[in-house]
Amino acid sequence: MAKVADQYLLVHPWKIIEAGFHADRSRVSESLFSLANEHQGVRGFFDESYSGESLAGVYLNGIYEERFNEAMAYKGISNRLCFMVNTVNWLYTRLELDGETLDLAKSRFSNFRRELDFRSGELRREFVWETKSGRKLHLVFLRLLSMETRELAYQQIYMTPLNFSGKVTLTLGLDFSMPHRMFEENFWDCPRRAAGAILGMSKNIHHRVFAGMRVDAEAEQMPVEAEKFVGGRLEVDLVEGQETTVSKIVIVHSDRDPQQGLDTAWERGMSQLRTSQKTYIEVLEQNRMYWDNFWAKSDITIDGDPETQQGIRFCIFQMQQTYRGVIAGANIGAKGLTGEAYNGNAFWDTETYCLPFYLFSNPLAAKSLIDFRYRTLPQALARAKDLDCEGACYPVATIDGTESCTLWQHASLQFQPTTAVAYALWHCMNVTGDTDFLKAEGAQMLIEICRFLASRGQWSATGKFGYYAVMGPDEFQMMVNNNAYTNYMAKRTFEFTLQTLAGMDLEKLGCSAAELEEWQRIATAMIIPYDPETGLYEQHEGFFNLPHIDVDAIPAEDFPLYHHWSYDRIYRNDMIKQPDVLMFMFLYNHSFSLEEKRANYDYYEPRCIHESSLSPSVHSILASELGRHQEACDFFRFATRIDLDNYNRNTGEGIHTTSIAAAWMNIVYGFGGMRSDGELLSFHPSIPAHWSGYSFQVFYRGAIIRMEVSQTEAVVRVVEGKPVRIKIGGRETEIGQQGTSVPVKNREFTG
Amino acid sequence: MAKVADQYLLVHPWKIIEAGFHADRSRVSESLFSLANEHQGVRGFFDESYSGESLAGVYLNGIYEERFNEAMAYKGISNRLCFMVNTVNWLYTRLELDGETLDLAKSRFSNFRRELDFRSGELRREFVWETKSGRKLHLVFLRLLSMETRELAYQQIYMTPLNFSGKVTLTLGLDFSMPHRMFEENFWDCPRRAAGAILGMSKNIHHRVFAGMRVDAEAEQMPVEAEKFVGGRLEVDLVEGQETTVSKIVIVHSDRDPQQGLDTAWERGMSQLRTSQKTYIEVLEQNRMYWDNFWAKSDITIDGDPETQQGIRFCIFQMQQTYRGVIAGANIGAKGLTGEAYNGNAFWDTETYCLPFYLFSNPLAAKSLIDFRYRTLPQALARAKDLDCEGACYPVATIDGTESCTLWQHASLQFQPTTAVAYALWHCMNVTGDTDFLKAEGAQMLIEICRFLASRGQWSATGKFGYYAVMGPDEFQMMVNNNAYTNYMAKRTFEFTLQTLAGMDLEKLGCSAAELEEWQRIATAMIIPYDPETGLYEQHEGFFNLPHIDVDAIPAEDFPLYHHWSYDRIYRNDMIKQPDVLMFMFLYNHSFSLEEKRANYDYYEPRCIHESSLSPSVHSILASELGRHQEACDFFRFATRIDLDNYNRNTGEGIHTTSIAAAWMNIVYGFGGMRSDGELLSFHPSIPAHWSGYSFQVFYRGAIIRMEVSQTEAVVRVVEGKPVRIKIGGRETEIGQQGTSVPVKNREFTG
């Protein structure tokens, strides 16, 4: 894991700050300075446009387009790619002074500074532009997405001439002509336009996006219109030394329903624009209150490590921006709303990495994520049919519930998305104690998932049950038999389903006793490759016989391997990309002894190259449990700053949103030693040697629990709500506002 | 193997005959009535065009185009497809009478008869056309490709009015506007045109095809020209009861060299057209002599089974038409020159199935096939590099030596094309005794092949050597470890190479002693999955543990499985598509005991669904050896008539050229019991119960050996050349013109 930080932002507990423009990191900054409010995501691109390296992107949750690959002549291979499509640039601005147009790739400028504040969600950028004629204009660009009224957004421009008085020309607009950069193609038609309002309709899927704006400026506005653009041209009189403000209030509405008339979409947007009268300052104040409230409940503090403090707050801020359970039917793309990589598709990362964050900070959002899988059950049923199976197979990658992964070797062979849904149902129920959803929608989902798992698996000649031709979470072992993760998770899924259905009215559920018996037989007969002598789970049948490769001997320049190694070469040795056996040992942590975890960690970790950005945190969490505290810190090192320091050199494509969730887990499950798979929530806190202390809070059974850890002790108490029972340091106890404390000994967990 | 004959042609020992037009089999007939002379292949489409189901195709050996699939972002995955492209329709004819244009899909006609004569290569078609006005015109269309002058072709039309005298209008031409039907696209530009001559240049690759014609008819000819067409319009006076002839002599030249000037291509074609003065009848006579001579040496006679007699002659005729070693650098496409399926690409079928036919009927052609692999060694070296390997990796599918298989799971995982080249070198040497090529070009090829095999394989933790993530010949087990076929063939390749290089000047060969030592170590340490208790070779590691599927229980409507089963479903049980273990037991027949062959046949045959058209013949050959004579006959049943009776229902796409070669092997190796992998050629003849006798001839060490088998005895003798030593019925003997005889006992081989 020879990853090297590329740190160029200033360290600050509540902000990211770029002092002086770093043109060579322009795309990275665009990702980092992204704003979002779940409804929309706006990359930190320059309002006035930038002719250098840039990916100007504005993405709306659930607004996507489709693209068909050349179809393969085989059944069950999806050739339809859905992608979150670039939409409307409502920040469109052109600035002319003395016949020169502002463009930081070409113009002379100084005193550049850009700040994103996690306590308000305000993005501020300022600099002094000096024209060829020597005029100096101090400019401040502000932008804001309302956290209260999600369609509402603001742009604010302050202009102060430093050495002249005179006219500046501004063009402000709403621009649907941006290309979707992944395919260098624009996907919008604009069937309606008026002064300051425009309706876009996406070309293939006919999603609609309304954008409307009102500009507040002391200047005459001349309307400007083009096929996919509406806006206005302003001549603004500037006076030396005086600040002039231009404000733009914007409404961005989206609608996926193709049945909805254009009139309706138009009228709804126009009406909201008319009634939105709050000023920038008022909405900024609302946002501040929103974030204050949020941080009060979900902050993680780290004392003695300002970089990590900044890093983890950046992570939490981005998670909350991206998703908070406001929009029904939304999910979390691998890059959130910050870029086009992974096409805005959601993966099993949602259930496995993101869900815990929400479960312990915003249980309603967690429920909404599970609800996404319930809403898309019909698509999962159809997908299983495509695969000649029964029941429901959840997609590897999706926006709308259909399979959007066009690589058959993943889409047809990976079933961790399906078992992850069952796991999520179990995990939520286990943490919240709430069985209402489980006994209704949950039962339906579990039945269909079991039907899939029963029909996709096969009985061996010796009367055992297993999964053949699968790929586990470790994507470096492509098409194997009886992957331990797949089989183990399936076994647990069957068992949980049987337990859930016990006593329920099977007939009403459309399910037979014979089916349940078969599932019981399958669960009992499930092959789990395991060597009792060594305590090692074999990642799949034959894994132990694979040729060994020393992953540390692979030259750094060979990474990422997908780009430098011939495709098949990756798949024919005992190197793994990410945790597989260790993954199920993390998920069902209580089901394995410390000795088993140690044996398997010692065997698999040295074989893992952590090519998935999700891998190090899981290893860090287990290393903490095993008392390998230095190792835990090493794996953690870049968890919170994977994007801020661009460790993978691809932050320019967007934020690693789901890895950011893993960073949260790394602190809470790793150092905090929290486990949520037992009967009670439990903690075994440890602390990195260079931290003086840290704290986090988790929602649990109606209470908010606060954990404060110093180098000597950990204090846990309820800060809101009723007392709850938990386990700490292996001891079961009820805690209230008084709380309890345990000494922090950096040692192995014991129970 | 529930395959059902669809027999509609008349049975004749030397012809295929269609009496009465079978419109529902129009494409099948087009394939069956194909003509070829290695240089070009012409499907049996109607000269006058046909608006019904038709694939009008004229293909030239080595003239191809390319097409790029959407590139995958992974190394070593080829996205360039080469395909033998449809070229020029030199048979273009339009016939008008009484304002009506002849089209057998619409016109009234009777007495349709079509014949292809294996003794001349003449295709004759006749019928009586009756116009709406009641005029009856008897028409005969003849076509012929010269076997002596390969660019030369003829069309001959006889017209006899039965109840009128009057004018008929004929348009004859050379048409480059035909679509390549697989992609519904035309790939030609025509930079030169003149009266009766046209030069085509293919759009991407710039291959050139010259077509020139001279029409001989008693009529005035008006030139007709279009962008991709030249021709002439003839008004011909017909007299009731009298036959009028229109003849067209055609030259079709091809050139792949993009450096060659258009002038050169044009002049060469024009000059050959000028100097070609032979009449149709003269060339027909030449062809008759050619084929008489061929049949005298390579005929197979079968007494008492006229359908099989017709079938095997059809097979041999098609093989010889397609390839006879005349054009340097040519190979044999899976459909020969008879259709667009498989894109005209050659596979390992060439070395494994076709080569024996040529080796024993036309050794020079066999050498040319091997020479193809020598010529394309540079491409194989480049392909190995793409796969991060050393040495030479031969392509799965190719026209020009580059990999044209765009499915990575085949192109990156299948190595039987590479070991087949080494096998071919060994097999040719073993049969001919000739080591000149082997010690020169052959040694170079073997060294590079071994380098590839050494670099692609891996050492296991236990010090054994094997191949991981491979697909063997059985394409229903996709990505497995230590496929027995791959490993066994690699081991033999290393051993043969070491034996070949022994005593040679290594330095001159650019090869080191250390390399040879490494190859020896690899050969010795090669993993060959084998169970000594049962004598079973395990097709790959873990095969014996796969879930079992009863292949006989698969519903007939599920076939072909690739179309009806989800892709991954095919790959997760112990069903196999074609012989894998049995394949190497056939190729190195002497290396395995009868008991081993019986054990493995009994195990693998019931698991095989024979979805490859090559599969039944190999099983038939082994069944004969094991004394399973009824089973041998059952598998053989459709070998010779796979296309004539359209058993796979896809003959419309083209002839199964390589399966046709397997039909030849099925008789010679199967019933004749010939083995060519021993020190001497050996025979163990048997005979199907319903045949009264059969005979075949093989070239061997400068002699032609004739084998005549009756129900009681087999007589083998030399009919041309010096006496040779062979083994017959287990006994070594020298045979001359007198020959020797053995009793035919339908029993197992014994040695």
Mean pLDDT in consecutive groups of 10 residues from the start of chain A, 751 residues: 83 98 97 98 98 97 92 85 97 97 98 98 98 97 98 98 97 97 96 96 96 95 96 97 98 89 93 96 98 97 97 97 94 96 96 96 95 98 98 98 95 98 98 95 98 97 95 97 98 98 96 97 98 97 96 90 93 96 98 97 96 92 95 92 91 93 96 97 95 97 96 96 95 95 74 41
The verdict on a CB contact (< 8 Å) between A74 and B413 is no
Query: Which of B388, B462, B548 lies nearest to residue A569, judging by beta carbons?
Result: B388
pLDDT of residue B513: 96
Chain B neighbors of A408, CB-CB under 8 A? 567-568
Residue A596 and residue A585 in contact, taking contact as beta carbons nearer than 8 Å:
yes
The verdict on a CB contact (< 8 Å) between B568 and A413 is yes
- For chain A, helix, strand, coil in percent to 5 are 35, 25, 40
Chain A neighbors of B387, CB-CB under 8 A? 566, 568-569
B 401-420 near A (Cβ less than 8 A):
408-409, 412-413
The confidence band for B751, taking pLDDT boundaries of 50, 70 and 90, is very low
Query: Which of B458, B545, B566 lies nearest to residue A412, judging by beta carbons?
Result: B566
The residue in chain B having the minimum alpha-carbon distance to the alpha carbon of residue A72 is B407
Contacts of A8 (CB under 8 A, 6+ apart): A18, A22, A25
Query: For the residues of A321-346, what is the DSSP string, one character each?
Result: HH--S-STT----TTTTS-SGGGG-B
For the annotated catalytic residues of B, the residue numbers are: 475
Question: Which of A617, A732, A616 shows the shortest CA–CA distance to A683?
Answer: A732
Cα dist from A291 to A30, A155, A294, A300, A317, whole Å: 22, 20, 5, 14, 9
The residue in chain B having the minimum alpha-carbon distance to the alpha carbon of residue A550 is B461
Q: Which value, to the nearest 10 degrees, does the dihedral of the CA atoms of residues B578, B584, B586, B587 take?
A: 120
The verdict on a CB contact (< 8 Å) between A572 and B458 is yes
Task: Name the catalytic one among A18, A475, A653, A708.
Answer: A475
The verdict on a CB contact (< 8 Å) between A545 and B76 is no
Question: CA B583 to CA B589: how far, in whole Å?
Answer: 9
Chain B neighbors of A70, CB-CB under 8 A? 69-70
Instruction: Please give the backbone phi and psi of residue B413, each rounded to the nearest 5 degrees, phi first.
Output: -120, -15
pLDDT of residue A92: 98
B108 touches chain A (CB under 8 A): no
Cα dist from B382 to A262, A564, A741, B386, B393, whole Å: 57, 16, 67, 6, 8
pLDDT of residue B638: 85
pLDDT in tens, B482-513: 999 999 999 999 999 999 999 999 999 999 99
Question: Which of B122, B114, B118 shows the shortest CA–CA distance to B15?
Answer: B118
The verdict on a CB contact (< 8 Å) between A565 and B75 is yes
Instruction: Please give the backbone phi and psi of residue A252, each rounded to the nearest 5 degrees, phi first.
Output: -120, 110
A 666-725 near B (Cβ less than 8 A):
none
Percent of chain B residues past pLDDT 70, beyond the cut: 99
B463 touches chain A (CB under 8 A): no
* Best residue in A407, A572, A575, A603 for a mutation probing chain B (most B CBs within 10 Å): A572
pLDDT of residue A259: 82
The residue in chain B having the minimum alpha-carbon distance to the alpha carbon of residue A459 is B547
pLDDT of residue B21: 98
pLDDT of residue A751: 41
Question: CA A377 to CA A393: how far, in whole Å?
Answer: 9
Question: CA B453 to CA B473: how far, in whole Å?
Answer: 16
Any idea how long chain A is? 751
The verdict on a CB contact (< 8 Å) between A547 and B458 is yes
pLDDT of residue A614: 87
Contacts of B555 (CB under 8 A, 6+ apart): none
> Hey, how many other C-beta atoms are within 10 angstroms of the C-beta on A308?
23
Q: What is the pTM of this model?
A: 0.94
ipTM: 0.92
Residue B643 and residue B657 in contact, taking contact as beta carbons nearer than 8 Å:
no
Give alpha helix (H) positions in A605-701: 615-625, 629-636, 657-665
Beta bridge partners of A706: A697, A717
Chain B neighbors of A455, CB-CB under 8 A? none
Contacts of A596 (CB under 8 A, 6+ apart): A535, A585
B649 touches chain A (CB under 8 A): no
> Hey, how many other C-beta atoms are within 10 angstroms of the C-beta on A499?
11
A475 is catalytic: yes
The verdict on a CB contact (< 8 Å) between B565 and A75 is yes
Question: Which of A694, A594, A589, A676 shows the shortest CA–CA distance to A636?
Answer: A694
pLDDT in tens, B311-344: 999 999 999 999 999 999 999 999 999 999 999 9
B80 touches chain A (CB under 8 A): no
The verdict on a CB contact (< 8 Å) between B547 and A468 is yes
The verdict on a CB contact (< 8 Å) between B567 and A75 is yes
Whether B1 shows a pLDDT value over 60: the answer reads no
Whether B556 shows a pLDDT value over 90: the answer reads no
Shortest Cα distance from B614 to chain A (angstroms)?
Answer: 22
Contacts of A498 (CB under 8 A, 6+ apart): A516, A519, A520, A523
Instruction: For residue A11, give the DSSP letter.
Output: P
Question: CA A637 to CA A466: how far, in whole Å?
Answer: 38
